[in-house]
Amino acid sequence: MRLPSSFLGSIAALFVLAGGGAIRAQQTIETLRVQHNVYAIFGAGGNVTVQIGDEGVLMVDSGLAASAPALLAEIRQLSPRPIRFLINTHLHPDHVGGNVAFSQAPAEPRPDFAPLAGAAGAADPLQPLNIIAHERVLSRMTAALPPLTAGQTGGAERLRGMPIDEYFMPTKDMHFNGEAVVLYHEPNAHTDGDTVVLFRGSDVVSAGDLFTPDAYPFIDIANGGTIQGEIAALNHVLQLTVPGHTQEGGTYVIPGHGRICDEADVVEFRDMIVIVRDRVQDMIKKKMTLDQIKAARPTRDYDPQYVTASSFVKADQFVEAVYRGLNDKK
Ligand SMILES: [Zn+2]
């Protein structure tokens, strides 16, 4: 395994040990056209968004490492053109696991690439794929790299699969395949490096794991996630979406896991989180301990909708994340 993979593998193992229903490498891969030239691919780990056109392919997230060959084959059914951009919504291995494989996918020569002096004939090591993520994703991924071993010189090989085009401003925009593609950093939501991607022409939002319509949100506190940021991010997604005239359709939202949604689905999910947040806040005001709050089951009425036997986030874990977020705020 290459170095980035070992980092990803260790987190993947953690997820599996935690009973991670979010990771299902053996699922059947399925593609749905969402709207205009944007597609959603399910079953490769986290949902993968693909935008295609004359200039090539843009992906949002790369699924699990083990699913990369099947995912590439699925994308090739959509377009034979080079995969130019891969945006990572965040650092979890079911969303960046395919990065290494995709960065090694057969490439077209890039006309603007010139090897460094002394490296005549060297292939462009990271061509053609431009991996984009918020800088917090890159810093956390590189911090997790094992130290260099004897004989390793670092460089491109070591960083293969890492985001090479990180951004640190609140937004980043680009134009690709005839439409504006806008990236928004959503601070401290699911993690501290979450990106939401708006395909402005196709009217599709790719939200990553801060939106999971059939499961409680995983607020990854160890990686900078907070309940406050989660709610703020969902409110921002709602600003980006416009419902159709019958309230169905309009802007479509591709969640990190689960079905294609529209604004009404995001509203329902946001409202559930706000209601649970308010209940936990009330219990904290009553000086209840975390154990007492868990025992009071503030998510009780929502559990049938958001928890199944294979759910990655159980009710207690969600309640604890909310509690910790509210207490850390003081
Ligand atoms: Zn995630």
Distance 209 CA to ligand 1 centre (A): 5
For residue 144, what pLDDT is reported? 85
Minimal CA–CA distance to 204: which of 158, 147, 247, 263? 263
Whether the pLDDT of residue 218 is over 60: the answer is: yes
Whether the pLDDT of residue 155 is over 80: the answer is: no
Distance 227 CA to ligand 1 centre (A): 14
Whether the pLDDT of residue 121 is over 80: the answer is: no
If 0-12 CB within 10 Å is exposed, 13-18 middle and 19+ buried, where does residue 308 land? exposed
Distance 95 CA to ligand 1 centre (A): 7
Distance 190 CA to ligand 1 centre (A): 7
Confidence of residue 10 (pLDDT cuts 50, 70, 90): very low
Instruction: Please give the helix or strand (H or E) that residue 258 lies within, else none.
Output: none
Confidence of residue 31 (pLDDT cuts 50, 70, 90): very high
Whether the pLDDT of residue 147 is over 60: the answer is: yes
For residue 122, what pLDDT is reported? 43
For residue 156, what pLDDT is reported? 67
Distance 184 CA to ligand 1 centre (A): 16
Judged by average pLDDT, the poorest of 146-155, 218-227, 234-243, 305-314 is 146-155
* Residue scoring higher pLDDT (140 or 111): 140
Whether the pLDDT of residue 197 is over 90: the answer is: yes
Whether the pLDDT of residue 108 is over 60: the answer is: no
Q: Average pLDDT, stretch 194-203?
A: 98
Tokens representing residue 52 in the block? 């295609």
Minimal CA–CA distance to 125: which of 251, 17, 2? 2
Minimal CA–CA distance to 270: which of 237, 222, 317? 237
Distance 147 CA to ligand 1 centre (A): 25
Measured CA to CA, the distance from residue 70 to residue 52 in angstroms comes to: 18
Q: Average pLDDT, stretch 42-50?
A: 97
Distance 188 CA to ligand 1 centre (A): 13
Measured CA to CA, the distance from residue 316 to residue 114 in angstroms comes to: 54
For residue 146, what pLDDT is reported? 78
Whether the pLDDT of residue 107 is over 70: the answer is: no
For residue 131, what pLDDT is reported? 95
Minimal CA–CA distance to 293: which of 309, 273, 317? 317
For residue 14, what pLDDT is reported? 40
Q: Average pLDDT, stretch 213-241?
A: 97
Whether the pLDDT of residue 168 is over 50: the answer is: yes
Distance 61 CA to ligand 1 centre (A): 11
Ligand 1 (ion): residues with CB under 5 Å are 92, 209
Q: Specify which of 22-26, 246-250, 259-263 reaches the highest per-range mean pLDDT.
A: 259-263
Whether the pLDDT of residue 172 is over 50: the answer is: yes
Distance 93 CA to ligand 1 centre (A): 8
Judged by average pLDDT, the poorest of 80-84, 125-129, 239-243, 245-249 is 125-129
Query: Average per-residue pLDDT in the chain?
Result: 86
Task: Tell me what percent of the residues of the chain surpass a pLDDT of 90.
Answer: 71
Whether the pLDDT of residue 98 is over 50: the answer is: yes
Q: Cα–chain-centroid distance for residue 305? A: 22
Q: Average pLDDT, stretch 62-77?
A: 94
Residue owning tokens 């600003």: 239
For residue 26, what pLDDT is reported? 54
Distance 137 CA to ligand 1 centre (A): 12
Whether the pLDDT of residue 220 is over 90: the answer is: yes
Distance 92 CA to ligand 1 centre (A): 5
